[in-house]
Amino acid sequence: MIAKLREWKENVENAGWKIKKASRKGQYFTFDVILAGIIMILAIILLINYWRYALENSAPMKDNLTKEAIRVSNLLFTTRGKYAIIQENSTSILKPKDEIMDACKALNGSTPYHLYVVEYTANTKAFLFGHAPIRTPQDKVVRAAYDGETGEPVVLEIYVTQ
């Protein structure tokens, strides 16, 4: 068998053809593998960008501001304490406006954030405390109660901005 292979090789070489020796390397870096690698890298980049976008727009990324807004809201909507705006012996009746403004003023001095409180009734919108939130990093908590002077339902929006 080996003799026939040698004879065949000599006939091929005599005919002017050259036999190329086989490379021990495989064709690993072909065009399809390179293209697949580029597609994989693009998919990973897209996944990372989507993940970062989802984290930036979710509650955990605004965690400090959200926690502060909830803390401020809870401090205001209590019946006892320095910052309480709910009348004692009730669960949802607001104190008079001047006491609410005093509580907001005291609370605004105790937090590193800026406080802004808006009151909505059925017919009006009243700015109780602070300046309108212009800065983009902000969070708000919406709470409902009853006006202590008129007895009508009100909605308080409590904004916390940096």
Average pLDDT over residues 59-71: 74
**Residue 81 belongs to domain spanning:** 62-161
- What is the sign of the dihedral through the CA atoms of 117, 118, 121 and 124? positive
Each residue of 4-29: pLDDT tens digit? 777 777 776 776 666 566 556 566 66
Residue 117's closest CA among 82, 141, 98? 141
CATH code of the domain covering residue 130: 3.30.1140
Of 72, 146, 151, 86, the C-alpha closest to 114 is 72
Q: For the chain, how many structural domains are there in total?
A: 1
Q: Residues 75-124: pLDDT tens digits?
A: 888 888 888 888 877 777 888 888 888 888 888 888 788 888 888 888 88
**Is 41 within the bounds of a domain?**
no
Q: Give 77-85's long-range contacts (Cβ < 8 A, gap of 24+).
A: 77/143, 77/145, 82/106, 83/107
